Amino acid sequence: MSVLVETVVSPEVAPVAQAVADASAAVASGLLGGFGRAHRWLRRAAGRLLFERRYGVRTAEVVSLEEFGLARHDRVYYSAANWRTLRRALPRDEVGEGDVFVDLGSGMGRMVLEAASRYRFGKVIGVELSEQLNDIARRNLATTRLRLRCRDVELVRSDALDYRIPDDVSVVFLNNPFRGETFETVVGRLVASVDRNPRRVTVIYFNPTEEEFLLGTGRFRPLRTVTHGRGTRQEGPFGLTRVYEITERPDALDA
Ligand SMILES: C[S@@+](CC[C@H](N)C(=O)[O-])C[C@H]1O[C@@H](n2cnc3c(N)ncnc32)[C@H](O)[C@@H]1O
């Protein structure tokens, strides 16, 4: 449904232009069910833009990986999760200084910023394929006026396939960053990390397109589901956040 707005407008105006283009396309195709919904959507987009200006960050564009020569069938383009995604999915009292957060496919760093500003994580990590997006995330981190509760923030430029998930990570955020084999390999490595160092790991999956695979592993227990935005039509996995915990290896229970 998204229409990519080429960056011919200034970065500050681009999110609004993007929202207008997306809303027009959605109205034209009947998906928003008329101007009432389009109006609410635009109002929300304007609210997000004001939020970003206030806090000195830039995360709201939609960017195709083709722009960087990185597109592949199982890699998903950049589009940030809603600013309130984490706070809706993860109660603040479930996070302490011993917790480590990672966003796999962190883009311009919106969720990294939300994790570091809202929670008392001991460490917050973003892992992003695109150097350009990761550079923007670095700038956002340097310029943000958000008060960061966690000062240990690492932004890693890497394919998630080449990244070794640290064995102390306890909260994993996924905003539908990749699918298919890449998703399966990364999830396999995450489970292997839990088996190497058994611990509680919460996985927050926004737009959970690969949920069937996740549940099929038998290692992800659903904890809760969060939906986004009143008046948003719920179709398939989009607009949903599922929260899971990784369960122990079955043979570990016999030991
Ligand atoms: C839908 S965006 C989510 C961005 C961010 N997590 C957020 O919610 O604001 C998906 C991101 O995953 C990145 N990505 C896609 N494939 C990747 C891979 N194999 N390794 C690391 N990042 C990847 C894309 O470049 C894009 O920035």
pLDDT in tens, the chain (255 residues): 333 433 334 445 455 555 555 555 555 555 556 677 778 778 777 777 888 888 889 999 999 999 999 999 999 999 999 999 999 999 999 999 999 999 999 999 999 999 999 999 999 999 999 999 999 999 999 999 999 999 999 999 999 999 999 999 999 999 999 999 999 999 999 999 999 999 999 999 999 999 999 999 999 999 999 987 655 556 689 999 999 999 998 887 565
* Per-residue buried b or exposed e for 119-153, using 16+ beta carbons within 10 Å of the residue's own CB: bebebbbbbbbbeebbebbbebbeebebeebbeeb
C-alpha–C-alpha distance, residues 156 and 131, integer Å: 9
Atom 14 in ligand 1: residue holding the nearest Cα: 105
d(CA 230, ligand 1 centre) in Å: 26
C-alpha–C-alpha distance, residues 41 and 231, integer Å: 9
d(CA 145, ligand 1 centre) in Å: 24
Atom 27 in ligand 1: residue holding the nearest Cα: 107
**What is the residue extent of each domain of the chain?**
14-55, 78-254
d(CA 34, ligand 1 centre) in Å: 31
Contact residues for 126 (Cβ-Cβ < 8 A; gap 6+): 102, 103, 106, 109, 111, 112, 134, 137, 153, 154, 155, 156
Pocket of ligand 1 (CB under 6 A): 65, 75-76, 78-81, 103, 105-107, 110-111, 127-130, 133, 159-161, 175-178, 182
Query: Between vectors from CA 113 to CA 107 and to CA 117, what angle results, nearest 5°?
Result: 170
Report the first-to-last Cα separation within the chain, whole angstroms: 50
Atom 6 in ligand 1: residue holding the nearest Cα: 106
Atom 7 in ligand 1: residue holding the nearest Cα: 80
Residue 2's pLDDT is: 38
| Contact in structure between 154 and 184 (CB atoms under 8 Å) | no
pTM above 0.95, yes or no: no
Atom 2 in ligand 1: residue holding the nearest Cα: 78
In 3D space, the residue among 81, 94, 70, 132 whose CA is nearest the CA of residue 239 turns out to be 81
Q: Does domain 78-254 have CATH number 1.10.340.30?
A: no
